[in-house]
Amino acid sequence: MKTMATTEFRIDGLDKFEKKLINAVKKKAPYELEKEIQRIGEKLMAKTKERTPVGKKKKAASKRLKNKWKLGKVRRRGDEFYIELKNAAPHAHLIENGHKTKSGGFVEGIHMLEISVKELEEELPAHLRGMLDRIMGEMLL
């Protein structure tokens, strides 16, 4: 039976580098994360608006639902960051989720926000990877 020889060694200076790296990430990451959440929110709003139906009535009223999408500011609650996208049109939830008709039928919802959120969730890892690459690239320069 063979025994393997092991040797312990220490590289001086890594502890100092590690602390510097951690401090830089703590300082830079929240700011970069806020910017990335804003970009993601803007992309979500664009995707949602693209899916929002335009009515066939008067021209001004036909784009009312599409033009009522509003993106809030990035906010922080404890360690969590969030941004709100909402539609101020009073009938937006009916178009999104569907609704009953007066005759007892049901109009299926368009799900413009729900579909856009699911689509963006699939793209999220790439967005966050890009953000980390930018942070690390800036720190190593």
Mind giving me the DSSP string for 21-40? HHHHHHHHHHHHHHHHHHHH
User: With 0-12 CB in 10 A as exposed, 13-18 as middle and 19+ as buried, what is 78?
Assistant: exposed
Residue 23 domain-assigned (yes or no): no
Residue 3 domain-assigned (yes or no): no
Amino acid, single-letter form, for residue 2:
K
pTM of structure: 0.73
- Joined together, the tokens standing for residue 11 give 């590289």
One digit per residue, the tens of pLDDT, for the chain of length 141 reads 555 555 555 555 667 766 776 777 677 777 888 888 899 999 999 999 999 998 776 544 557 889 999 999 999 888 788 899 999 999 999 999 999 999 999 999 999 999 999 999 888 888 788 877 877 776 665
Residue 73 domain-assigned (yes or no): yes
Q: How far apart are CA 7 and CA 26, in angstroms?
A: 34
Residue 77 domain-assigned (yes or no): yes
Residue 19 domain-assigned (yes or no): no
Q: How far apart are CA 127 and CA 46, in angstroms?
A: 16
Residue 93 domain-assigned (yes or no): yes
Q: How many domains does the chain have?
A: 1
Residue 98 domain-assigned (yes or no): yes
- Joined together, the tokens standing for residue 58 give 């008067």
Residue 18 domain-assigned (yes or no): no
Amino acid, single-letter form, for residue 115:
I
Exposure letters 8-41 (e unless 16+ CB within 10 A, then b): eeeeeeeeeeeeeeeeeeeeeeeeebbebbeebb
Its domain, for residue 59, covers 29-140
